[in-house]
Structure 1
């Protein structure tokens, strides 16, 4: 997500049967109130909220009655714990994140290097 429109589109197009969600917002979002017009109620539940703006994101989700499993400020730890969760019975594990959190997640997983195609 980069702006309110892309944030809303991500939520609106998420399969309603999605059981496991990690939501992370990083330092690229300087003012999280920018996202307050987005209706996050469609998420229903988020397993882990993380990133440098985790508290602000959790507040927004709470106002939209989204259940939060827990807040983990350490993004690497949150990613590891999320990936270690048992496979969902339906849907796929889903990560919604800002660009900064995406880059940090990719680096944490060793996916930041560009590999030449074979």
Structure 2
């Protein structure tokens, strides 16, 4: 079992709206940085920084395929994170919500 300090650090990462959104989207499929940049309207370095934090604590995996790096969720052994994600909107609802926020501009 993981130490309480490690679990606390992982749950703190979920306190950021952008990282939580990324994890929600990753529940359905793999994503690459470019896709996150497009959907979240963030810079590539900003997206990469969030993913680096999630990867450093083992919440996401990365796999390089040619010039692209794909990220996938790695929470099978982290039921406390899976429990949080189970209570979140679906990836489809999250994408609809993100698209609605685009229309305001």
**Comparing both structures, which one devotes a greater share of its residues to helix?**
2
TM superposition score normalised by structure 2: 0.32
Structure scoring higher RCO (CA < 8 A, sep ≥ 6) equals 1
TM superposition score normalised by structure 1: 0.29
